[in-house]
Structure formats: structure tokens, C-alpha cells
Structure 1
Amino acid sequence: MMTASPLALTTQEPQKPKVGALIRARRQQLQLTLRDICEAAGITPGYLSQVERDLATPSLGTLAQIAHSLNVGVDYFIASPGADDALTRHGERETFSVPGSEVIYERVAADFAGNQLSSFVLNIPPGFHSETVSHEGEELLFVLEGKLTQMLDGAEYIMRPGDSLHFRGNRPHAWWNDTNETVRVLWTGTVPVYRTNPPKVGGQKSD
């Protein structure tokens, strides 16, 4: 008897709530405006409006920034695997995705008191284009398989296996896969993907 792969189990969850509706509900619960969230997350009100209406799906890093500004962890919006052990093995890592996104994430970093880094292997499907963002912290990309196009401060870089790019997160950046093959990228950064107890934001406002 054939069993479903972890990847198939991750992507075949049609009843999972859309991430946009959860973001909007949480924002309204806190009585925050789109601009309140965008100032903390480093995105535009227009883009966040598209996300809330499920017309756009944020990357995991951007979702983490949004979650941080809403005083919750990213697991408030997605079901993500735990990382109790420091060791992960190729082919055995649990996978997950942001609802509505085709990018599959493999978590390779552990979670422990005082850690500063988050790290994932991104499996980026053909034709996928990320949003353009800027945020606190820094990022390091290392291409494992395929060809990735990275935009940084308006300049485009073609990255192939073995290529890397390290930059401050406050520089506008985006990436995309314009090939016919899945791209695998090791992403490491100080974006607070799984930080607990984030600071509360803003006053009590309505949109």
C-alpha cells in the first residue's frame, strides 16, 4: 500500500482557514488600522489589503512580521512543525506552508531560549514571485538547486546552486522563480518567525 508523502499531506488541506481572514479578524480584534500593521511589518497598506482579501499570499517572513505586529506568533495563522531537536536529517524534516501559498518550507533551525536565527529550506515552484518587503534584521540566501532571481534595492541578481547573498532586511527585496523547475533555497535570517511575547503595537483605532 502506498502512503502519502509529507509534502502531499501538507498541501492537501482544503478546509484550512485562509490566512487573510485570520489576519483581518485579529487586526480588528485589536482595533488596529491597516497602516498600524504595515508600519511594523514593512509592507504597504495596499498589499496588506490584498492579503486580507486573499488576493495575495505573504511569504513566511512577511507573515512573521505581520504576526509580530499583531502580538501573536506565526503559528497563530498556520500549523507548523515543532523543532525540539537541534539535528534534522535530509528527507526526514517535516514540511509546512502558508495557507494559499505553493512554497513548501522545511524547518532546519531549532527553537531555544535566546536564539536569534530562523532557518528554512524553501521549495519554490515554477512561476512563483514573492512580495517586495523591507524589515528589521538581516537575511542570508544560499541556493541549493535551480535558478533564483533576487531583487535587492532595485538591482536583479541571478543566483544558481552554490551562490549566496547576505543583506540587511531594511533594503527592499523580493525573489522569484521564472524557470520550469522547483528552486530549493536555504534561507537564514533574524526575522522573528517564532519569537514569543512580541511587543504590543499602537493605540486603539478602527479602520
Structure 2
Amino acid sequence: MSTENSPPSTDSDLQFGLAVRARRAQLAITLDQLAQASGVTSGALSRVERGLLSVSLRNAMAIARGLGCELSELVQSPAPAQITRAGEHARFVHEDTGIVRLALARPQPGLELLHYAVPPGQASSHFAPHRPGTREVFYVETGSLRVFTGTDSVLLQAGDSAQLAMDTEHHFANEGRGVAHFILLVAAPAHGG
């Protein structure tokens, strides 16, 4: 990705970057995997996600293709009311673990609401640290869930909630006997670190 003569980054650069990061997180792919799929270097993608680099239309379209979505999904301003009907949520199933993730809502850049179903004995991939200040709020509907952050962990049972800083590597696991269902709210800070 060419960066010569790049204009200073703007709020729209940040919104685009957050949308790219959120979509990549939904797909559970790394920067390197997106780089391979889009043809845009992982270093440039990292700067794009942080709102530090303006992208050309060609590269923006390549990134959208790499994420399996339309460019409009990454740049569109939200409508005053957005309704997603049952069965219409983006649904991702991890091939190896059977973990099901539903993307419930992304009301604004940096804010995402997800629903997970984790089969017994299964664990998520290890997620890279988020930007400092990012919080994840877990609410366990059924079953139990252990959330690992760095070298710490917390065990949550049905009805429990936890707000955790996620600026370290993290993952979760179902150590119980039944399927764990939980809602996850990811809240990233508006800008910077």
C-alpha cells in the first residue's frame, strides 16, 4: 500500500479502521491472513485499523473483498434505527471447536454486541491484545465460562457478568458439562491509546 502524499488521518479514517478491525474480529482472522486475502501489507492494515493511514479507493475495496463484505458495509453511516430480524444476524461457526458467534449489533465504531454458544470442553482462539482502554463485558446466560486475560482468569456462572480490560492476550473456555451461552459487549475507546 502506497503511503506517499497521504493526507493527515481524519475521523472517517478512524471509523473505517474500526470497522475493518471489528469485521476482522468477527471473522477471527489475523492481520497476516487479511493481508494475504487483500494484497495490502499487514503493517499498512495495522495503521489503517488504528486510523493512522488514509487508504486509496482501490485498497479500501481490496480490504473489503479480503473481509468478504461490500465496501459500503465498512464506510456507511448508520441509519437512525437498525433492526436485524431473527435469523438475519451474521453467524460464524468455528470449524474445529463448534463455537457459534452471532454478530448482534455494531451501533457505532468501537462498540460491538455479540452472542456466543460454546460447546462443553471447547476454548476460543487466543485473541491479540486490544487497544489500551478497551473493555469487554461478559454476561453468561447459561452454563459456565472461564475468561483468561494474560496470566489471570475468572470463572463465570449463569447470571454472572464481568467487565474486563482486554489490553492483553485473552481467550475463553467452557469447562462445564453443558453449552455455555453468553453475551459479549466489546467497547473500544474513541481514539488513541
> After superposition, what is the alpha-carbon deviation per residue over 1:63-107, rounded to whole angstroms, capped at 9, x for unaligned?
xx7xxx99635981479xx99754456x65535115635222223
Give matches, 1:88-167, under 5 Å: 92=87, 94-97=89-92, 100=95, 102-111=98-107, 114-132=108-126, 133-136=128-131, 137-167=134-164
> After superposition, what is the alpha-carbon deviation per residue over 1:172-195, rounded to whole angstroms, capped at 9, x for unaligned?
321111223211110011359xxx
> After superposition, what is the alpha-carbon deviation per residue over 1:49-72, rounded to whole angstroms, capped at 9, x for unaligned?
xxxxxxxxxxxxxxxx7xxx9963
Please tell me whether residue 185 in structure 1 is matched to residue 182 in structure 2.
yes
- TM-score, normalised via structure 2 length: 0.54
Helix, strand or coil at the partner of 2:124:
coil
C-alpha distance in 2 between matches for 1:182 and 1:75: 32
Q: Please list every run of 5 or more consecutive structure 2 residues that lacks an aligned counterpart in the other structure.
A: 1-28, 54-58
1:150 deviation in Å?
1.0
C-alpha distance in 2 between matches for 1:122 and 1:134: 20
Query: Root-mean-square deviation (CA), in Å?
Result: 4.0
Using the aligned pairs only, state the percent identity: 14
Helix, strand or coil at the partner of 1:119:
strand
- TM-score, normalised via structure 1 length: 0.51
CA gap of 1:178–1:99, structure 2 versus 1, over 3 A, is closer
C-alpha distance in 1 between matches for 2:94 and 2:146: 24
C-alpha distance in 2 between matches for 1:37 and 1:128: 34
C-alpha distance in 1 between matches for 2:100 and 2:90: 7
Query: What is the number of equivalent residue pairs in this alignment?
Result: 138
Q: Please list every run of 5 or more consecutive structure 1 residues that lacks an aligned counterpart in the other structure.
A: 1-18, 42-64, 193-207
C-alpha distance in 1 between matches for 2:95 and 2:119: 13
1:144 deviation in Å?
0.8
2:56 counterpart residue number? none
1:31 deviation in Å?
4.2
CA gap of 1:115–1:177, structure 2 versus 1, over 3 A, is same
C-alpha distance in 1 between matches for 2:175 and 2:136: 22
C-alpha distance in 1 between matches for 2:180 and 2:94: 20
Structure with the higher strand share, 1 or 2? 2
2:36 counterpart residue number? 25
